[in-house]
Amino acid sequence: MTQTSTLSDVREFHPRVRTALDNPQIRSNFRNAMDGLMGKRQKAFDGWDLDKLRDLGAAVRLRALARLPELLERLEANCIRQGIQVHWAETGEQACEIIGDICKARQARTVIKGKSMVSEEMELNHYLEEQGIEALESDLGEYIVQLAEETPSHIIMPAIHKNTTEISDLMHERTGTERSHDVDYLTASARQQLREKFMTADVGISGVNFAVAQTGTLCLVENEGNGRLTTTVPPCHIAVTGIEKVVEHLEDISPLLALLTRSATGQHITTYVNMISGPRRDAELDGPEAVHLVLVDSGRSSVYQDPELMDTLRCIRCGACMNHCPVYTRVGGHAYGTTYPGPIGKILMPHLLGLDSTRDLPSASTLCGACGEVCPVRIPIPTLLQRLRKESVDGDRLRPSVVRGHGSKRHWKEVLAWNAFRWIFASPGRYRLLGMLMTRFRAFTPSRVGAWSRYRSAPKPAARTLHQLVNERAKGGGR
């Protein structure tokens, strides 16, 4: 129910990384899970022309983004025609208020939730609680995370940072179940507790995986059935989604589904693909009487202003970039301090929160390129990371840029150093003078140079320059 993505927390990236690296339990939980997921993904694409499938996935998403405003209007018109009420929110706070108002108008006391990362992003549970409305997560992973009063550490597997013992202890303390390593028993206990809630909840809130403009259809992908219960049993269903989730045609979801579930967990498909196109119609015996769709911008239209950074919006939230990231695997999801961790978080969160508070994220990468190689919709994540690194130091805040807080990492010492470098290296005389000084006085160079020497020895100039060595060699008749 609490959120870690407050600004002051995001800034504490390095201390959190050190804590995470010192925790062998976290390291082994993530390492085991990520190794397994990488293997499953690879196996799931056996027999596929993966390059061609990724080309198609990218093309479908690019087409949706190219026509984004028109498709949003078309989605809205089709949804309204089918009885879905559509709301627009510029910020997360606005979206929370819209949802809160819907709940209040229905005098709702309890809300049951299916998994939704956008609702995590806008800290919806926290908001609803302040309004006196109980919001209960029903996805097993989210339920565990909520019991622990934590936030998800992975966008697909929210409780991946915990092992069975930790979960058993947690459920014992919070809900009174027996301590057990029997996953079937733990799952059955959670099922029992949540069934009651499903039956009595006033409102169900879910996310959306794809919103189809052509047919006004909200597509939800899940394995547990909690998403279907959330969207079917309570009298009111509120779906909340980022504006970038729209696709043009119904057929467009077929390649995206093929990519999403295989990339995420190595499944050919999830147990349920739930396509909702309206509230309960005449004579139908179940389903909600009201369906609302809340379209959330929250920084996305700003990303849309830049043709290169726009690629971030292609993301279908599969989490493959995390599973394959050497940094994520070692530090885990909580170290990032943001709703979306890992490579996608590093290129998305600076837009949502501003680069001033997320300045360390684009640098938390080895640029090994694995994320870009596995991305099912071919987002050039490494290129975007480099772009954001540049944005964080390039220019000052007065220069126009679509990234909030750009230039916030710029430091006068660094600027001075590079200007001096340019001044010296542009003139042969000054260059030779520097070489002479550096070799003579090399004993005086500092043995500690900031972050560089934390894990490495500081660079020390050689006793003679390369020029000198080459010249001596030439005189000595060497080759």
Task: Please name the residues in contact with 38: beta carbons below 8 A apart, sequence gap of 6 or more.
Answer: 323, 324
Residues 51-80 that bind other proteins (CB under 8 A): 52-53, 55-56, 58-60, 62-63, 65-69, 72-73
Q: How far is the CB of 195 from other proteins (least distance, A)?
A: 6
Please say which residue, 215 or 439, places its beta carbon nearer to other proteins: 215
Q: Which residue has the tokens 């959306």?
A: 208
Task: List the x/- string, 13-52, binding to other proteins by CB under 8 A.
Answer: ----------------x--xx--x-----------xx--x
Please say which residue, 48 or 421, places its beta carbon nearer to other proteins: 48
Please say which residue, 254 or 471, places its beta carbon nearer to other proteins: 254
What's at 183, amino acid-wise?
Answer: V
Binding residues for other proteins, how many (CB under 8 A)? 103
Q: What is the DSSP string of 305-353?
A: TSTTGGGGGG-----HHHHT-HHHHHH-SGGG-SSS-HHHHHHHHHHHH
Going by DSSP bridges, is the β-strand pair 272-276/134-137 parallel, antiparallel, or unpaired? unpaired
- Out of 102, 122, 157, 364, point to the residue binding other proteins (CB under 8 A): 157
Residues 84-143 that bind other proteins (CB under 8 A): 87-90, 94, 138-141
Residues 295-334 that bind other proteins (CB under 8 A): 295, 297, 301-302, 304-307, 310
- Out of 117, 148, 229, 264, point to the residue binding other proteins (CB under 8 A): 229
Please say which residue, 241 or 365, places its beta carbon nearer to other proteins: 241
Q: How far apart are CA 214 and CA 217, in angstroms?
A: 8
Residues 438-477 that bind other proteins (CB under 8 A): none
- For residue 318, which of 71, 105, 106, 37 has the smallest C-alpha distance? 37
Tokens for 153? 């550490």
Residues 382-421 that bind other proteins (CB under 8 A): none
Q: What is the DSSP string of 193-241?
A: HHHHHHHH-SEEEE--SEEETTTTEEEEEESSSHHHHHHHSSSEEEEEE
Please say which residue, 188 or 463, places its beta carbon nearer to other proteins: 188
Tokens for 413? 């010492």
Please say which residue, 208 or 364, places its beta carbon nearer to other proteins: 208
Go through the chain and tell me how many residues it has: 479
- Out of 85, 110, 215, 386, point to the residue binding other proteins (CB under 8 A): 215
Please say which residue, 163 or 383, places its beta carbon nearer to other proteins: 163
Residues 240-299 that bind other proteins (CB under 8 A): 243, 249-252, 254-255, 257-258, 265, 267-281, 283-287, 295, 297
341 binds other proteins (CB under 8 A): no
Applying CB under 8 A, the span of 191-199, 324-332, 355-363, 449-457 interacting with other proteins comes to 191-199
Q: What is the DSSP string of 371-422?
A: HHHH-TT---HHHHHHHHHHHHHSS-TTS--SSTTTTTT--HHHHHHHHHHH
- Out of 26, 147, 194, 316, point to the residue binding other proteins (CB under 8 A): 194
Beta bridge partners of 221: 273
